[in-house]
Copies of this chain bind each other. A is one copy, B any other.
């Protein structure tokens, strides 16, 4: 399967585009390679690109009182960006950093906006992507609200074991909203 097919077959999980719109969409994407620990997006800068992560892993994090708070991870087939900055056009408040060497596809906000005007169906696709991302975030939020540290870990182990396999524990702890020591202890007595 070539790269175009890869991206397009994933998009079909959301909505099936006409051949013409598919082609137009694909023409707007540029390949990007980025390396472990590199920052894809830095707080303070305006993020005008949406990325599709073909291969690799990365994280979004905030700097709060000198500490890094990881709040999400991205893996294969995720759309990633600093949504706040991308949507509002304001400077990003978060950083996005590579956890592994990765291959991404990038589309600019301008190009995407132009596509919306040309192809209703592309806007529909994006509307559906937002719907799904919204409920995914909602789920995580509610989960975090009333679960204990142990339950959060067990949940993660069950739902997204790949995260634990590919991501340093320190990041995972902060992602779960607990200290690294607590996470380590939970792992110890399971």
Contacts and interface: CB of A to CB of B under 8 A. Distances in A.
Interface in A16-55: none
A135 B94 CA distance: 13
Interface string A110-132: 00000010001001101100111
A12 interface: no
B84 A135 contact: yes
Interface string A69-97: 10100000000000110011000000000
B127 A83 contact: no
A131 to B, nearest CB: 5
A144 interface: yes
B87 A135 contact: yes
A127 B137 contact: no
Contacts of A67: 146
Contacts of A140: 141
Contact of A62 (B131, B132, B142, B144): B142
A141 B130 contact: no
A69 B137 contact: no
Given A87-B135, A133-B134, A135-B87, A69 B145 contact: yes
Contact of A137 (B120, B131, B137): B137
A170 interface: no
18 contacts: A62-B142, A64-B146, A67-B146, A83-B131, A83-B134, A83-B138, A87-B134, A116-B124, A120-B123, A123-B127, A126-B127, A134-B134, A137-B137, A137-B141, A140-B141, A141-B144, A144-B144, A146-B177
